[in-house]
Structure 1
Amino acid sequence: MSLLLLIEQILNGLQFGVMLFLTAAGLTLVFGVMGLINLAHGSLFMIGAFAAAATAAATGSFLLALAASLAAAAAAGALVEVLVIRRLYSRDHLDQVLATFALILVFSEGTRWVFGSFPLYLNIPPALSGPVTLPGGIEYPVYRLTIIAVGLMIALGLFLLISRTRLGVQIRAGESDREMIAALGIDINRLYTVVFALGAALAGLAGALVGAIQSVQVGMGEPVLILAFVVIVIGGIGSIKGALIGSILVGLTDTLGGVLLPETFKLFMDPASATAVGSALASMLIYILMAVVLVVKPMGLYGARA
């Protein structure tokens, strides 16, 4: 493999990792603050993608599409929290899993009823289409670089929100002792709704950004949800920094493994068998990474100590 191709794959891994971060950050906030297992988080990713695709088709504006993805996912998240999730905080995790799994079915069938069963497509805006030449003569899509930049800026914004604002203080306090902050006069229900809507908005934005790279279709959020859970296990529950580091590790491992392993096995076997074996092992790498991290640090890389 040439050096230019390797650098290109590293950038692809960063882009994939940033997309996972936008999804996993909301999931880790919800789990860390509320202690809630939300399997419907991937459906909010899907809602953002469909809202963006429909808005772009109606208006022709990519910026309006992104705004619609944020608004639709945040509204759906707040509505779900008020009507369903609020009744699950004191229940067993199994009840939370069953209820949020039911929400996956509701959102999937509802989306199919509104938009149909055929995929939608979201076009990359002209200003972000085409490649840009990076140092070393590497040509890389402008849109993918934009996703990386947007994700890193959001990561910085979330860090500042959690560490420097009153809302961030309440979120961190909610992670430690929700009864105490309720006793201090903070409306814990409103805080939970805001956190859930924020996490949903981030997932919806991720869906909209990815929708311009792949087709927008029912069920597109479930594979991302599985990877997001892997990310928060690796990074540590409740940690934004852990979500970012874990996302980048998963993105690079998945992308580079899918390229390097087949090439490596070609040194020992015929190309067809090497591609099959290498691709099969590459799909397992992120779970092997998760297992190794849990053996070394059972609470994740930046999780709170037991």
Structure 2
Amino acid sequence: MQTALLIEQILNGLQFGVMLFLMAAGLTLIFGVMGLINLAHGSLYMVGAFACAAVAAATGSFWLGLAASLVAAAAAGAIIEVSVIRRLYDRDHLDQVLATFALILIFSEGTRWIFGSFPLYLDIPPLLRGAVPLPGGSAYPAYRLAIIAVGIAVAIGLYLLISRTRLGMRIRAGESDREMIAALGVDIRTLYTVVFALGAALAGLAGALVGALQSVQVGMGEPVLILAFVVIVIGGIGSIKGALVGAVLVGLIDTLGRFLLPMALAGFMDASSAAGIGAALASMLIYVFMALVLAIRPQGLFSAQR
């Protein structure tokens, strides 16, 4: 049974990790290409979750809701890039932080005004409601496995986009020398809008997928945003590969820490104390790991070109 539980927790860590990757991939693209600190990225995650829940409730189709989450988050990202973010590229990071923090408040109050203060709930689609048998006799929810598969597919798609397409070539060039590609005739404003909308769509997808596992509520994106920043610091700012590796590491460290530390502490304290202290230590492990990575490789595990 312990082996089955360990396998289940590893899969939980992978599922948590790929969800963080969907958030962190868009964030690291935006930061790497534009040099922009976007605190409103978590709000786009929330927009995707609410759009999916609202459309799924209206139509009865989770898949239409999932498509709506991509469209809504990408559209919201494009609108705020054109109307607000575009004015911040040449400003210092403090101005960017203040402006995007204001966007968090605007999105939160706007969402509360539209949907109310009560959480929404999103049902898992019937196709993915079953469970898949695991070694050891236990079973694992098919929906969580589907999230892992989506994360892997997105990672492959982003790799191909960045390394094999003309848009990817422009994105890589924008990371290295934005003035040069502008001088070569590339419409840098359009490129920035596309990159921002792509990052927003990935955040919206993450919100929609997680919305079926927890309630959809105002403010749900901020805790995830903090972990997404941790991921891109560990993986290397601007690196999609780094975002994937960092997200999986963070997901496994957090999940396995919450599983293994209480068991280890239960040997010399009561079960309730061991559970509480173990959970607290597991949360700290992520930041300890980030500090170790920064001490050894201040640029992160991977450079922006990898």
- For the aligned pair, the TM-score class normalised by the smaller chain equals over 0.9
Distance 1:298 1:158 in 2: 25
1:236 maps to what in 2?
236
1:128 maps to what in 2?
128
What is the DSSP-based 3-state SS (H/G/I as helix, E as strand, rest coil) of the residue aligned with 2:180?
helix
1:248 maps to what in 2?
248
Which runs of 4 or more aligned residues in structure 1 lie more than 4 Å from their structure 2 counterparts after TM superposition? Answer: none
Distance 1:175 1:289 in 2: 27
Within 5 A, what are the aligned runs for 1:47-62?
47-62=47-62
* TM-fit CA distance, 1:198: 0.1
Task: Judge which range, 131-140 or 105-114, deviates more.
Answer: 131-140
Distance 1:270 1:124 in 2: 37
* TM-fit CA distance, 1:304: 4.7
Distance 2:40 2:177 in 1: 25
2:216 maps to what in 1?
216
1:83 maps to what in 2?
83
1:42 maps to what in 2?
42
Gaps of 5+ in 2: none
* TM-fit CA distance, 1:135: 4.3
Offset from partner CA, 1:116-173 (integer Å, 9 cap, x none): 0000000001110021113443310000000000110010000000000000000000
Distance 1:216 1:272 in 2: 30
Distance 2:151 2:279 in 1: 28
1:154 maps to what in 2?
154
Counterpart of 1:272, as a letter, is: S
What is the DSSP-based 3-state SS (H/G/I as helix, E as strand, rest coil) of the residue aligned with 2:263?
helix
* TM-fit CA distance, 1:264: 0.3
* 8 A Cα contact 2:38 2:100, kept in partner: yes
Within 5 A, what are the aligned runs for 1:165-244?
165-244=165-244
Counterpart of 1:187, as a letter, is: D
2:267 maps to what in 1?
267
Counterpart of 1:293, as a letter, is: V
**For this pair of structures, how many residues does the alignment match?**
305
Q: CA RMSD in A?
A: 1.0
Offset from partner CA, 1:63-100 (integer Å, 9 cap, x none): 10010000000000000000000000000000000000
* 8 A Cα contact 2:32 2:304, kept in partner: no
Counterpart of 2:169, as a letter, is: V
Distance 1:292 1:171 in 2: 30
Percentage identity across aligned positions?
Answer: 79
Gaps of 5+ in 1: none
